[in-house]
Structure 1
Amino acid sequence: MRQFTAGIWMLVLGYMLSQFYRAFLAVLSTDLRAELGAAPGDLAISSGVWFVAFALMQIPVGGWLDRNGPRKTASDMMFVTAAGAVVFAIATAPWHLHVAMALIGIGCAPALMGAYYIFAHDFPKRDFGTLAGTFVAAGALGNLLSATPLVSVSEAIGWRSTLWLMVGITLAVAIGERLVVRDPARLDNAHPIGRLSDILRIRALWFVLPLFAVNYGVSAAIRGLWAGPYLEDVFVASPQTVGHATLLMGITMILGNYFAGPLVGWIGSVRRTILIGAAATLAVTVTLWLLPDNSMPLSILLLALIGLSGASYVLLIAHGRAFLPPHLVGRGITFLNMLSIGGTGILQFGSRPIYQWTLANGGPIAAYSTVFLSFSIPLAIGLALYFLTPEAPND
C-alpha cells in the first residue's frame, strides 16, 4: 500500500462505492419487498441490470481510458452513479429499481479499471497481481458497508434516507477524483492504435476467457443477491443475522483478495493458484446444492468460503494482463472485465427463472438448491477449459 498515491486512494473510495452498490440489494431485500413489492425475482433483475449495464460500458470505457485518462473518465462517470442513487431513493415500484441500478452500473464502470490502467502503465508486470489484489481488498470495504453497517443505518434513518446519504457521498468522491487523480504518461505515436480484434487474436487468452466469464459471477451473485433471501427463506434468519452473514462473506472476500498476490509467490504460479481457487469455489457451491438446509451455521460458513475462494478474479485479470502489449492495456483489461461482469449479469438473469420455476414446483429449499447447482455447472465448464491455458510469461 506504500505505492498508493492520494489519487489511487481516491480511486479506492470510488471502487468502495462500486462494491457497495453491487451488493446492497441483498441486505435491503426485506424493506424493498415490504414497501415496493420487490420479490427476490425482481431483485434478480435489478442486480442483473447493474452487471449488464456495467459490462456493456467496458468497451467505451477502455477507449476513454486510452484517450482521456482515468482521472476524467472515473470522475465523470461517478456523477452518473449519483444520479442512479437518486432514482433509487425516490423509487415507488420495482421497475424504478431496474432503472436506478442501470444508471449506477453505468457510472461504476471505470471504478476498478481506472486504477488497473495506472498499475499497468506505471508499474512492472510482475507487480500487477499484488497491486490489483491490494486495491480490490481495500475497495472491498464497500462490501462490508453494505452488510451489518447498512442494516444499522437503514434501521436508524430508513432505507430512503440511507440512499440520500449515499448520493452525497458519491458526489463527494466524484469531485475528489477530479481533483487528485493523476493520469499516467501517454504512449507515443510509435505504438499502434489498439482494436478489439487485436485482443481476440491473442491465442493465450482464449482459454482464460470462459473461466473469466463465470468465476467472479458466482461469488458476486450469491453475495449481492441470493445470500439474504436464501438465509431468510430457508432458515428464517433475521435481518441482523443476514447482515452478519453477508459481513462475514465480505470480510473473507477482502482477505482472499489481499492474500492473492502472496499466495501466488508461495504456490509459484498464477495459473496453479487460480486452478486451486476455482476448484475450491466449485466444491463449496456443490456442497450448498447438496446440503442447502443442513444447518444455518454450516450455510453461513460455506457462504464465507465462497467469498474467500472467489478472489481468483484479481489473479485472472493479472494472468490476462500479462499477455497484453502496452497499446492494448486499456482496451484489453476493460474487455476482460466486461466478460467477467457480463457473465455475472447473465448468471443473475438466468438464476431468476430457475428460482421461480423450482419454487413453484418444489418449494424454497429446492429452489435455492437448484440456484446453487446453476452456478456450479458453468463454473465446472470454465475450470475444465482453463486447464488448457498457458502459464503467464512472467511466472
Structure 2
Amino acid sequence: MLQRNFLIWLLTSLFYAYQYILRVIPNIIAPELITKFNISIADVGQFGGLYYVGYTLAHIPIGLFLDRFGPKFVLPACTVLTFTGTLPLICFDEWSYSIIGRIIVGIGSSASAIGIFKVASMYFAQEKSARMASLSIIIGILGGICGGLPLDFLLDKFGWNYVIYTFSAFGCLLALLLFLVTPESNAQQEKVSIRDLKNILFNKHIILISFFGGLMVGPMQGFADGWVKAFFFEVYKMNEDLASSLSSVILIGMLTGSFSLAYLLEKYKNKHYEVIIACSFAMIASFLLLFTQIGGLYVVLPTLFIIGFASGYQVVTIYKAISYVNNNLVGLATAVSNMIVMVFGYFFHTGIAKIVDLCWDRTIIQGNPVYGAELLIKATSVIPVCLLVAVFGLLWLKNKDFREVDCNK
C-alpha cells in the first residue's frame, strides 16, 4: 500500500514538472514561432500569457472536480490536455489553433498544482503531507530548470518538432500510468457549497492579499519565464547557451526561498506582511542592480538567486490567505488565492511584450530579432514598478488588519 501511495505521489509530481517544461517552451522557440506563423514578438508574449488565462479560469472548477471525482480521472484527463494543447504548434500552420491549444495547456496544468496537495493529503498522514507536497514542488522546479539550457540543447540538436512529439508521447504514457495506478476514491468528501465559494470569493482579506501578491509575480512569470534569455543575451552580451541557463538560477533560488520562508513563518507565526514586504524590496533592489549592467556574471548569479529566493513569497501569500478561513475551506481558499496571483502572469507576459513591440525598430539579424539593451531594460522596468505598488498596498493592508484586530479586542 505504501509503495503504491508513493508511486501515485511520484507520478503526480512528474506531472507537475512536465507541465512546467511545456509552460516555458514558447520562450525557447520564440524565433521559430515568429518565422513559421509570421507573427510579432507581441503575439509571442501574448501566446505565453494565454497559458495563465486557461490556468486561472480552470483553477476553481478543477479543484471542485478533484474533490468530487478524485485524482484517478481528473489528473490523467488533464495530463492529456497539456500535451494535446501543445501539438497545434507543429500540426497546423494556422496561428489561431495554437492560441486555443495554449489555453488548453493552461487548463490541464491547473490540475498539477492543486493535485500535488490533494494527493499528499489523501495518501499520506497529516504530519507527512506537507513534506510530500514540498518535495513535489522541488520536482516541479527541477522540471522548470530542465526548461532552460537542457531543453534549449535538445531543440537545437533534434529540432522542435521532434522534441514536442517526444514530450507528447511521454505525456500520453504519464496519463496512462496515472489512470492505472491511482485507485478510485471511495471516501466521502465533505462537499463545498456555493455559499462557501461565494464567501471566499467576496472575502476582502483573501482578495487583497492575493491581488498585491499578484503584483509581485513579475520576476517569475514575466522575467524568468519569458525574457531572461533575451535580456542577458543583449543587455549583458552573454552567449545564448549561458543566457538560456540563467532562468535555472532563479528557480533554484525559489526552491530555497519557498522552504526557508515557510520555516521562518513557523518561528514567527504572525510576520506574513513583514516577510512579503521584505521580499518585494529585495526584488526591487535586485532589478535595479541588473539594470546598471555592473559586474558581469559575478553580480548576475547572486542577484538572480536573490530574485528567486524572494519569489518564495508566494508560499507566504497563500498561507496568509488561508488563515482567514476554517480548515474545511483551506483547499478552496488556496485555489482562489493562487488563481488571483497567477492571472497576473498574463499581465506581465503581455505587458512586457507589448512595450517591446511598440518601441522595437524591427531589426532582425540572421533570422533572430534584435531589441537592444535600452529597450529591454525599459520593458522589464514594469516589474520593479509593480513591486513598489505592492509594497505600498501591503503596508496599507497591514495597518488595516491591525486596526481591525484592535477593534475586535
TM-score by length of 2: 0.82
- CA-CA distance at 1:194 after TM superposition: 4.8
Aligned pair partner of 2:373 in 337, 346, 365: 365
Match of 1:9 in 2: 10
AA at the equivalent of 1:285: F
AA at the equivalent of 1:383: V
Q: Residues of 2 paired with 1:12 and 1:158: CA distance?
A: 27
Task: Call closer, same or farther: CA 1:81–1:303 in 2, change over 3 Å.
Answer: same
Q: Residues of 1 paired with 2:37 and 2:321: CA distance?
A: 42
- CA-CA distance at 1:236 after TM superposition: 4.1
- How do 1:183-202 and structure 2 match up within 5 A? 183=185, 185-188=187-190, 192=193, 194-202=195-203
SS in 2 for 1:24: helix
Task: Call closer, same or farther: CA 1:144–1:233 in 2, change over 3 Å.
Answer: same
Task: Call closer, same or farther: CA 1:231–1:131 in 2, change over 3 Å.
Answer: same
AA at the equivalent of 1:137: I
State yes or no: 1:158 paired with 2:159: yes
Structure 1 residues not aligned, in runs of 5+: none
Q: Is the 8 A contact 1:356 1:367 kept in 2?
A: no
Task: Call closer, same or farther: CA 1:263–1:181 in 2, change over 3 Å.
Answer: farther
SS in 2 for 1:324: coil
Task: Call closer, same or farther: CA 1:198–1:268 in 2, change over 3 Å.
Answer: closer
Q: Deviations over 1:293-345 (max 9, x none)?
A: 44542445433432221121122222222333244334322211211111111
Match of 2:367 in 1: none
Q: Residues of 1 paired with 2:13 and 2:234: CA distance?
A: 35
- How do 1:1-395 and structure 2 match up within 5 A? 5-37=6-38, 39-92=40-93, 95-119=96-120, 132-181=133-182, 183=185, 185-188=187-190, 192=193, 194-266=195-267, 268-269=269-270, 271=272, 272-288=274-290, 290-291=291-292, 293-294=293-294, 296-297=296-297, 298-360=299-361, 364-387=372-395, 388-389=397-398
Q: Residues of 2 paired with 1:213 and 1:299: CA distance?
A: 25
Q: Is the 8 A contact 1:58 1:109 kept in 2?
A: yes
- CA-CA distance at 1:97 after TM superposition: 3.9
Task: Call closer, same or farther: CA 1:94–1:257 in 2, change over 3 Å.
Answer: farther
Q: Deviations over 1:233-253 (max 9, x none)?
A: 334433311232223233223
Match of 2:365 in 1: none
Q: Is the 8 A contact 1:74 1:110 kept in 2?
A: yes
Match of 2:366 in 1: none
Q: Is the 8 A contact 1:359 1:367 kept in 2?
A: yes
- CA-CA distance at 1:192 after TM superposition: 5.0
Q: Is the 8 A contact 2:120 2:130 kept in 1?
A: no
Percent identity between the two aligned chains? 17
Structure 2 residues not aligned, in runs of 5+: 363-370
Q: Deviations over 1:90-144 (max 9, x none)?
A: 3546555433322211211111112223456788999876654443222111101
Q: Is the 8 A contact 1:85 1:164 kept in 2?
A: no
Q: Residues of 1 paired with 2:83 and 2:119: CA distance?
A: 24
Task: Call closer, same or farther: CA 1:137–1:386 in 2, change over 3 Å.
Answer: farther
Structure (1 or 2) with the larger CA radius of gyration: 2
- CA-CA distance at 1:384 after TM superposition: 2.6
Task: Call closer, same or farther: CA 1:202–1:35 in 2, change over 3 Å.
Answer: closer
Q: Flag the structure with more relative contact order, 1 or 2, with Cα contacts below 8 A and sequence separation at least 6.
A: 1
AA at the equivalent of 1:8: W
- CA-CA distance at 1:75 after TM superposition: 1.7
- CA-CA distance at 1:11 after TM superposition: 1.2
Alpha-carbon RMSD across the aligned residues, in angstroms, is: 3.2
Q: Deviations over 1:42-94 (max 9, x none)?
A: 22111111111111111221221232223322221111112112212335465
Q: Deviations over 1:160-215 (max 9, x none)?
A: 101111101111222222233465943347x7555432103434424312223223
AA at the equivalent of 2:220: S
Which segment is superposed worse, 232-241 or 333-342? 232-241
Task: Call closer, same or farther: CA 1:49–1:180 in 2, change over 3 Å.
Answer: same
Q: Residues of 1 paired with 2:250 and 2:307: CA distance?
A: 8
Q: Residues of 2 paired with 1:352 and 1:221: CA distance?
A: 9
Q: Residues of 2 paired with 1:36 and 1:286: CA distance?
A: 35
Task: Call closer, same or farther: CA 1:320–1:133 in 2, change over 3 Å.
Answer: farther
Number of matched residues? 386
TM-score by length of 1: 0.85
AA at the equivalent of 2:389: I
Task: Call closer, same or farther: CA 1:247–1:218 in 2, change over 3 Å.
Answer: closer
AA at the equivalent of 1:103: I
Which segment is superposed worse, 116-125 or 311-320? 116-125
- CA-CA distance at 1:14 after TM superposition: 0.9
AA at the equivalent of 1:106: I
Q: Residues of 1 paired with 2:15 and 2:195: CA distance?
A: 27
Q: Deviations over 1:218-239 (max 9, x none)?
A: 3121111111121233344333
Q: Residues of 1 paired with 2:243 and 2:92: CA distance?
A: 23
Q: Is the 8 A contact 2:12 2:115 kept in 1?
A: yes
